[in-house]
Structure 1
Amino acid sequence: MIWSGSETQDIDRLSSQIYGIPSRTLMEEAGKAIFRLALRLWKPYSHFILLAGSGNNGGDALVAARLLFEADFSLTCFDVSDGKESNERHYQRLELEKKGFALKPFRDAADFDPFRDRSLIIIDGLLGLGLKGSLRDGLTRNCLEAASHLHSRVVLAIDLPSGLEADTWDTEPARLPATHTITFGALKPVHVGEPSRRWCGDVNLATLGFAPEAIQDVLSKRTISLIHDTYTPALATLWRHLPPDAHKYDRGHVLAIGGSPGKVGAIMMAAAAALKGGAGWVTVAPLSEIMAPAWSREFTYETFGLEGEIDLSAMKRFIETRKVKAVLIGPGTMETPLTRKFMECFAELQKKQQLRLVFDAGALSDILKLSEGLAFDPDHTLLTPHPGEWKRLQKEMPTPQHVGDIWDLCELTQKQGMSMIYKSASPMIFAPESVRFLTQGDNRLGRAGSGDLLAGLILGLSSGPYSLHELAGHAQNMLALSASRLAASQAPLELLNGIV
């Protein structure tokens, strides 16, 4: 589960104001969680520097400072409030001062000079979930920039690196990137999207005593679930529904259409992934045989697209008579092979025999316009755009950068009856009732052909009792895990074939 920044603030507020959990109690719990993580990160001779802003994020830092002081650790706590502070932060400052510990006001970068040759652990409690927009000039920004020039071994951010927005992931680099982040209740979009995720470092989730009723009150208002999907099933798990006497049609006859001149390798790679994924029978319908690789004997072949244009009636007849359960169309194409009549045909076949459809590469161009007004099933229809293809889906499509974009895109999937996996540094799956962030990705997958593998693997798994948007998440995570395992033993040039 992922909470937005505003949802987290509402849960915090309702827990205190409606359900009787004192905000000081929640702040004390947060400070203890920060303290426990700080202890795990500490090494002998390390010195803690705590940066306490004016809000409740700063209050959390002051609780941690008090606990570190009581445990006799070496620390300095900088007051970066500029004379302003929240009520809870004020209370925590007085509690710390009662212990005989004085905060050091931050004025400029020279205040950090005594610490430049020390082994430092910086705890960033300057700004939390409430920031909207860019960080303005001022004391906080100056402090972050000065702290970034210290030789810190660890930077522990409270909730998120100061200056980032909780609900935005397409952002400029953090001014003080964290090696570790601690957040409360649930992850936020900033922790799971790229590039913001990289500035958060290792994200640690701590539970606070939020009122369950407050959580229910806030999350029940959602129409869309935000999910952090790291589940990577074993391939056999996805086929365990098969009975002992299962045959090839139970595993599914799937059809892969694509491969323009010189790019037939793309559809062949997708077909290979479909077979490895468990499909019972894979048929390839290439759109060209010019500069094609050797025809693999693992597949059967159809010629209804060899002239570059697909014979619609021949394709439909093949799908109906050969019990095709799923079609992938597009790998290895730059322009769409589809027309309105094709989309009408696919909609008819889906209604008639629950045909599953995966659209990739060139087949994505203008697909939303071509399918407008037609009835598709989002559990059985999947689009697989990367950022360049995303812009070709529809001119008005917002690139997902912020939680607000997510709501708009989910409405679009509901309207079109199509789910989507956005293949990017932050893979996301858009379904009518959920958005899943996938964080198992690996930059080593960012090569020509990786999208063909993904589309093919989804195709190969598509005959099971799962929606295509579920399978898209499983397939992406499986490929990412394969890349991680292979990276330790194989050179990058060998990686792609190794995954297949």
Structure 2
Amino acid sequence: MEALPTRLYTPEQVRELDRRAIEDHGIPGERLMEQAGRAAYRLLRRRWPDARRVTVLCGGGNNGGDGYVIARLAASTGLDVRVAAVSDPERLSGAAADAMGRCRELVALEPWDARALDDADVVVDALLGTGLDREVAGEYAEAIEAANARAVGRLAVDVPSGISATTGACLGVAFRADVTPTFIGLKQGLFTGAAPDYTGTVRYDDLDVPPAVFGDMPPAAWRVDAGAVAGWLAPRSPASHKGHFGHVLVIGGDYGFGGAVRLAAEAAARTGAGLVSVATRKRHIAPLLAACPEVMAHSVDSATALEPLLGRASVVAIGPGLGQSDWGRGMLAAAGGFDGPLVADADALNLLAAEGPVANPRRVITPHPGEAARLLRRDTAEVQRDRFAALDELLSRFGGAALLKGAGTLIGAGDQRWLCTAGNSGMASGGMGDVLTGVVAGLLAQGLGVGEAAAMAAAVHGGAADRAAVRTGRRALLARDVIDALSGGLPE
């Protein structure tokens, strides 16, 4: 198994890669299936070296064929193997039929029955594969639910059955794996939506297909983490000064919400913005300066008072603690005339949703799924069912760049798409989005375009959260811990 690549593909693209390998490069399908089964079996043995009893759940198609290879290899090395066929093995064709026939020489094939799971140490899911596009039902659903209910090791071949390899949605019920080996092309749906709850650790093997197979096929998205974006900012010149790195103006912090604007401002400064100013309510000035003396804080009670600050800023971030009162509405209206890069989050997004879409090519919006649902006039569940489609619609309506937060954060600008695999469940707490807003603004101030700034911000923010969680634990992780950890993940 190899390090995870950065190129992500749709299932349709991966099927085309398979076709190219077989038809254009003369690699027999049987060989690819054998290699996939061997790679999965090696992973099984490394993950569960003491396992003695393995049950393989086999469906139809090539995913079932991979399962028959795994079962044959397990039996040939002396393990006690049971194969439960949820699809009639006699209906298989091609490489899958060949794999089934070779397996049957060593292992008796049983029709699906829950007793096949009795005494198993490891259950292998080779049921449905990447082509699933409807809810799981019948014996497939029964087998998945029965496997999930057992205290066993669980390995899913290529994608957990019941997870859409396109969207990451759970289609009714899904196999909950500890580890998922995937092959040839890394499927985009493995890393977003519900999928991270089901994949366990994702491992990758290209099955030794030649690089020419990937040829001129552009990926559907690029996977980013803190390591992938390390070179996106140019090194700082020894002769540089603060004027070279932009001036961020953070607008927000209505009564009772001063903490949000402070987090965003401090994150922008920690990310490397040359100057950071804050426009907020008067009562928040003293505590903000006590906590973060590096920022310049201004009491702003009207849109008129905001205008001079907008004139000095190179980047505006609006939304953290903004509220939806007349004050917040006035601040957003005034910021709407700013002609530089702008980051909109939190209540700025809720106010935009109420007003209706107005495209701005210089703006980054950073909604969580609930905010995205309001912007698109949909419900949150619909957004989560197809996060890629929701991202595309956000870009179509609002322009600029969109960063759809959540497990497997998605970022888009123009025809570029990124998926961030950094971050952890400890980020499900207040203030994390305010920190992200500040990081985006800080990167925009240093000259990145809206798409690159949003994608790098997601990766840097998630990477900082991962480092911080090592110290605090996920449950105790706070937004300010992430700010403190930013310094370990930014280029010099």
Task: Sort the Cα spacing of 1:169 and 1:407 in 2 relative to 1 into closer, same or farther, 3 A.
Answer: closer
Larger radius of gyration: 1
The answer for the alignment partner of 2:148 in structure 1 is: 148
Residue 86 (1) aligns with residue 93 (2): yes
Which residue of the other structure, out of 306, 310, 313, is the alignment partner of 1:319?
Answer: 310
Which residue number corresponds to residue 179 of structure 2?
180
More moved, 207-216 vs 472-481 = 207-216
The Cα shift of 1:173 comes to: 7.1
Partner residue, 1:299:
295
- Matches of residues 25-36 of structure 1 in structure 2 within 5 Å? 25-36=31-42
Measure the CA separation in 2 of the matches of 1:42 and 1:341. 59
Cα deviation 1:443-467 (Å, max 9, x = unaligned): 2222221111111122223222322
- CA distance 1:495–1:106, shift in 2 (3 Å): same
What is the rounded CA distance, in whole Å, between the counterparts of 1:107 and 1:270 in structure 2? Answer: 55
Cα offset for 1:137? 1.1
Once the two structures are superposed, what CA deviation does each residue of 1:198-254 show, in whole Å capped at 9, x if it has no partner?
21111111112446555346x35x7xx41221134799x776533212111112221
- Conserved 8 A contact 2:364-2:401: yes
CA distance in 2 between counterparts of 1:234 and 1:141 reads: 40
Q: How many positions carry a matched residue from both structures?
A: 469
After superposition, the C-alpha distances for 1:450-492 in whole angstroms (9 at most, x for unaligned) are 1111111222232223223323333333333333333344375
Distance 1:383 1:472, change over 3 A: same
Aligned to 1:127: 128
Aligned to 1:208: 207
Deviation at 1:415, TM superposition (A): 5.9
- Are 2:77 and 1:71 aligned? yes
Q: Matches of 1:465 and 1:253 in 2, distance apart?
A: 11
Between 1:259-268 and 1:207-216, the stretch displaced more is 207-216
CA deviations over 1:289-335 (Å, ceiling 9, x no partner): 379735444322334xx32x322xx5444433x3x211111210222
CA–CA distance in structure 1, aligned partners of residues 390 and 193 of structure 2? 20
Percent of aligned pairs with the same amino acid = 29
Q: 2:409 aligns with which of 393, 406, 427?
A: 427
What amino acid maps onto 1:330 in structure 2? Answer: G
* Cα distance change, pair 177–396 in 1 and its aligned pair in 2 (3 A): closer
Q: Is the Cα contact below 8 Å between 1:261 and 1:288 reproduced in 2?
A: no
> Which stretch of the first structure deviates more once superposed, 472-481 or 50-59?
472-481
Matched position secondary structure for 2:163: coil
Once residues 332 and 296 of structure 2 are traced to their aligned partners in structure 1, the CA distance between those partners, rounded to angstroms, is: 28
Letter in 2 for 1:53: G
Match of 1:495 among 474, 478, 485: 478
Which residue pairs with 2:444 in the alignment? 462
Whole-angstrom CA distance in 1 between matches of 2:67 and 2:188? 22
Q: Secondary structure at the match of 2:180?
A: strand
Secondary structure, aligned partner of 1:63: helix
2:114 to 109, 117, 122: 109
When normalised by structure 2's length, the TM-score is 0.85
Asked whether 1:249 is paired with 2:243, we answer yes
For 2:257 and 2:150, how far apart are their aligned partners in 1?
A: 51
SS at match of 2:34: helix
1:362 aligns with 2:347: yes
SS in 1 for 2:8: coil
Cα displacement string for residues 146-197 of structure 1 (whole angstroms, at most 9, x for unaligned residues): 3334431x21111112222211323267443111111112322331013222
Q: Distance in 1 between matches of 2:383 and 2:215?
A: 27
Contact 1:430/1:436, CA 8 A, preserved across alignment: yes
- Taking a change above 3 Å as real, the CA distance of residues 85 and 230 of structure 1, as seen in their structure-2 partners, is same
Partners of 1:344 and 1:371 within 8 A in 2: no
Helix, strand or coil at the partner of 2:343? strand
CA displacement, residues 344-382 of structure 1 (integer Å, 9 cap, x when unaligned): 622xx2xxxxx22111222123537868666x43xx421
| Superposed structure 1 runs of 4+ greater than 6 Å apart | none
Other-structure match for 2:369: 387
Distance 1:337 1:171, change over 3 A: same
Map of 2:63 onto structure 1: 57
The Cα RMSD (Å) is 3.1
Unpaired segments of 5 or more residues in structure 2?
1-6, 484-492
Matches of 1:258 and 1:429, distance apart in 2: 24
